[in-house]
């Protein structure tokens, strides 16, 4: 019978794992701390170990690195970041399981790893990674707690330390270059060059020279020899973005480089061997381009050794609050300003929006909000205004107030999502009253009596409104 060791100080976690592993025919030994785990290892021979990172008497990750367990290890962690996933694999873990988890998640993981349980423990990649990489360098820029991102973290964690070619797919703006950078930074090549080139942004007649270099006089304007990006990336990583737009003639030369590891400059008869890890990305469906004769099938299979797909932002809405907060904080640092606070209703609207431009669009909106938000907090109306600026609608000079209100409210409700709103009348009033109050206060230079006359409201009502919206009339006195 296969035997499993569960090392975790949480009774509930041990219960869930115990139940699933019993279903799968495992004999279970439980340990609430590292001391008990060490004693269990002396008495039993385990086929698999489930190990928590943070234990009362030590760190599970460090214990794994020490070589205590002579069996495949699944790390249990409440940390769901990319860095933590990579660290677990680098320490020698066969898998990692983010907390909290339920019975179905554990069942799926056990089914996935059962064929590997009898195999030897994976060797740690730790020694293959240059010790000079600092913790700041290794800090990941990829965020997300959604299941889709956890799958992506696992994939990157497994392949980062290899030299295999990776094809990264996903819609525009999903962060394909960011994933490429992480694959480089977590690899043994991290201290070498990372060269990124967008093949769609360079004219076809110049792309060959950019990639492979050229000799003096190779073509008009080539007044001196030039090193290409393959040679610049020698020893490091070359990232080719939008590979689907590469001309067919150049695809043939690219295939030869991948097969031989040698490059030939334009205008030269000599070849030079290069040691480059190639990463490629595209937002296009390459198999469809192959059917149309626009992309070489043999090159596709050379590139698609390890496929990595990045899901669009609308398919991982749970990640939007964390991404938005991080991007807002980063924008504030870059602009040397104090970051405004994202209110719950603002986060709700951000999470419901479809983000056709994906992470890139979200980043632009958060930068816009950091600059244009007048107060210390970002409300739903601020977000709606920032999003509405993207649709290209412009107010016409002869537009009536009624038409303007209709246009803006219609757009706002479209962004908000009708089905998710309750108490709409009060909600709309609370979005419209503050700017009206501020405009009238500015016109009357903060005179509350004149404000009440202009609005047709009694003075006490105006005072209550100012208090409710935390508006100080004194700010408008000149």
Same domain, 272 and 389: no
CATH code for the domain of 240: 3.40.50.300
* DSSP code of residue 214: B
Tell me the per-residue pLDDT of 229-277, one tens digit each, with 9 for 90 and over.
999 999 999 999 999 999 998 999 999 999 999 998 888 888 899 999 9
CA 438 to chain CA centroid, Å, is: 39
Same domain, 177 and 65: no
Whether 144 contacts 319, CB under 8 Å: yes
Buried b (16+ CB within 10 A) or exposed e, 132-164: eeeeeebebebbbebebbbebbbbbbbbbbbee
Q: Is residue 411 part of a domain?
A: yes
Best mean pLDDT range from 156-170, 214-228, 384-398: 156-170
pLDDT of 170 higher than 50 = yes
Tell me the per-residue pLDDT of 302-336, one tens digit each, with 9 for 90 and over.
999 999 999 899 888 989 998 999 899 888 888 78
For the segment 211-223, the average pLDDT, to the nearest whole number, is 78
Instruction: Give the end of a domain, one of 128, 160, 179.
Output: 128
Whether 133 contacts 125, CB under 8 Å: no
Q: Is residue 142 part of a domain?
A: no
Tokens describing residue 434: 């503050």
pLDDT of residue 128: 36
Same domain, 274 and 172: yes
CA 336 to chain CA centroid, Å, is: 24
Residue with the bigger pLDDT between 426 and 38: it is 38
Instruction: Give the end of a domain, one of 292, 309, 326.
Output: 309
Same domain, 203 and 323: no
* DSSP code of residue 42: H
pLDDT of 221 higher than 90 = no
At CA 152, angle to CA 146 and CA 153, rounded to 5? 90
Percent of the chain exceeding pLDDT 70 equals: 86
Whether 229 contacts 197, CB under 8 Å: yes
Tell me the per-residue pLDDT of 35-78, one tens digit each, with 9 for 90 and over.
999 999 999 988 889 999 889 999 888 888 888 888 888 888 87
Q: Is residue 199 part of a domain?
A: yes
Report the alpha-carbon distance of residue 310 to residue 288 in Å, rounded: 19
Whether 384 contacts 345, CB under 8 Å: no
Whether 318 contacts 292, CB under 8 Å: no
pLDDT of residue 126: 36
Q: Is residue 439 part of a domain?
A: yes
pLDDT of residue 180: 92
Q: Is residue 362 part of a domain?
A: yes
For residue 11, the surrounding DSSP H or E stretch is helix 11-23
pLDDT of residue 267: 83
Residue with the bigger pLDDT between 225 and 350: it is 350
Tokens describing residue 37: 């785990």
Closest CA to 101 of 62, 57, 150, 139: 150
pLDDT of residue 114: 65
Same domain, 214 and 293: yes
pLDDT of residue 394: 40
pLDDT of residue 390: 41
SS3 at position 341:
strand
| Mean pLDDT computed over every residue of the chain | 82
CATH code for the domain of 377: 1.10.10.60
Burial class (CB in 10 A: 0-12, 13-18, 19+), 306: middle
Helix axes 320-335, 344-352, angle to 10 degrees: 110
pTM: 0.58
Same domain, 119 and 154: no
Least confident of 224-228, 324-328, 441-445: 224-228
Same domain, 305 and 321: no
For the segment 450-463, the average pLDDT, to the nearest whole number, is 91
Q: Is residue 62 part of a domain?
A: yes
Closest CA to 280 of 194, 166, 170: 166
Same domain, 362 and 234: no
Secondary structure, 3-state, 348-408:
HHHHHCCCCCHHHHHHHHHHHHHHHCCCCEECHHHHHHHHHHHHCCCCCCCCCHHHHHHHH
Distance (Å) of CA 205 to CA 153, 220, 231 = 38, 12, 19
Tell me the per-residue pLDDT of 389-415, one tens digit each, with 9 for 90 and over.
444 344 344 557 777 777 677 666 655
**Neighbouring residues of 148: CB distance < 8 A, sequence distance ≥ 6:** 311, 315, 316
Whether 138 contacts 157, CB under 8 Å: no
pLDDT of 418 higher than 60 = no
Same domain, 291 and 360: no
Tokens describing residue 181: 């950078």
pLDDT of 124 higher than 50 = no
Give the range of the structural domain holding residue 304, as residue numbers without chain letter. Answer: 147-309
Quote the radius of gyration of the chain (alpha carbons, Å): 29
Least confident of 83-97, 171-185, 336-350, 458-472: 83-97
Same domain, 336 and 464: yes
Q: Is residue 22 part of a domain?
A: yes
Same domain, 156 and 246: yes
How many separate domains does the chain show?
3
Instruction: Give the end of a domain, one of 309, 343, 364.
Output: 309
Helix axes 82-91, 147-159, angle to 10 degrees: 40
Whether 160 contacts 187, CB under 8 Å: yes
Report the alpha-carbon distance of residue 284 to residue 179 in Å, rounded: 17
pLDDT of 125 higher than 80 = no
Whether 246 contacts 206, CB under 8 Å: no
Tell me the per-residue pLDDT of 5-24, one tens digit each, with 9 for 90 and over.
999 998 878 878 888 888 88
For the segment 440-459, the average pLDDT, to the nearest whole number, is 90
Same domain, 222 and 115: no
* Alpha helices (H) along 233-343: 248-260, 286-291, 297-303, 320-335
- Beta strand pairing call for 262-263 and 237-241: unpaired
CATH code for the domain of 53: 3.40.50.2300
Tokens describing residue 250: 């150049």
Tell me the per-residue pLDDT of 179-207, one tens digit each, with 9 for 90 and over.
998 889 888 898 899 999 898 888 877 88
Distance (Å) of CA 236 to CA 127, 271, 278, 281, 307 = 18, 19, 9, 17, 20
Q: Is residue 136 part of a domain?
A: no
Report the alpha-carbon distance of residue 108 to residue 104 in Å, rounded: 6
Whether 301 contacts 167, CB under 8 Å: no
């Amino acid at each position: 019978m296969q035997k499993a060791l569960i090392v975790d100080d949480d009774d509930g976690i041990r219960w869930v794992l115990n139940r699933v592993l019993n279903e799968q025919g495992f004999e279970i030994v439980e340990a609430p701390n590292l001391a008990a785990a060490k004693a269990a290892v002396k008495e039993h021979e385990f086929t698999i170990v489930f190990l928590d990172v943070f234990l009362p008497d030590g760190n599970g990750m460090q214990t794994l690195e020490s070589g205590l367990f002579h069996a495949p290890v699944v790390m249990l962690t409440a940390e769901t970041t990319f860095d933590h996933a990579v660290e677990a694999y680098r320490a020698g873990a066969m898998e990692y399981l983010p907390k909290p988890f339920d019975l179905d998640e554990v069942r799926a993981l056990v089914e996935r790893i059962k064929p590997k349980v009898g195999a030897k423990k994976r060797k740690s990649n730790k020694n293959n990674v240059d010790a000079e990489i600092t913790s700041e360098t290794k800090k990941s820029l990829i965020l997300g707690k959604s299941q889709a991102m956890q799958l992506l973290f696992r994939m990157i964690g497994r392949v980062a330390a290899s030299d295999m070619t990776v094809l990264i797919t996903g819609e525009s703006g999903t962060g394909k270059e960011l994933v490429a950078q992480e694959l480089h930074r977590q690899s043994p090549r991290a201290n070498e060059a990372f060269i990124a080139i967008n093949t769609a942004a360079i004219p076809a007649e110049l792309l060959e020279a950019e990639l492979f270099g050229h000799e003096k006089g190779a073509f008009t304007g080539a007044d001196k020899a030039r090193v290409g990006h393959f040679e610049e990336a020698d020893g490091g990583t070359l990232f080719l973005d939008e590979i689907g737009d590469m001309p067919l003639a150049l695809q043939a030369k690219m295939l030869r480089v991948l097969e031989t590891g040698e490059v030939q400059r334009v205008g030269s008869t000599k070849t030079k061997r290069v040691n480059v890890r190639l990463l490629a990305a595209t937002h296009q469906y390459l198999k469809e381009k192959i059917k149309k004769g626009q992309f070489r099938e043999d090159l596709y299979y050379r590139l698609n050794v390890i496929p990595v797909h990045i899901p669009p932002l609308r398919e991982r809405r749970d990640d939007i609050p964390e991404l938005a907060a991080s991007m807002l904080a980063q924008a504030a640092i870059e602009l040397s300003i104090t970051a405004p606070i994202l209110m719950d209703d603002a986060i709700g609207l951000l999470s419901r929006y479809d983000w056709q431009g994906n992470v890139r669009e979200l980043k632009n909106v958060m930068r816009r909000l950091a600059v244009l938000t007048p107060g210390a907090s970002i409300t739903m109306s601020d977000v709606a205004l920032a999003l509405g600026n993207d649709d290209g609608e412009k107010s016409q000079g002869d537009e009536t107030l009624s038409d303007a209100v209709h246009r803006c409210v219609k757009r706002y409700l479209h962004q908000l999502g009708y089905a998710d709103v309750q108490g709409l009348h009060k909600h709309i009033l609370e979005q419209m009253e503050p700017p009206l109050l501020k405009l009238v206060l500015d016109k009357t230079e903060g005179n509350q009596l004149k404000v009440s006359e202009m609005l047709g409201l009694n003075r006490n009502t105006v005072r209550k409104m100012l208090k409710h919206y935390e508006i100080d009339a004194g700010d408008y006195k000149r």
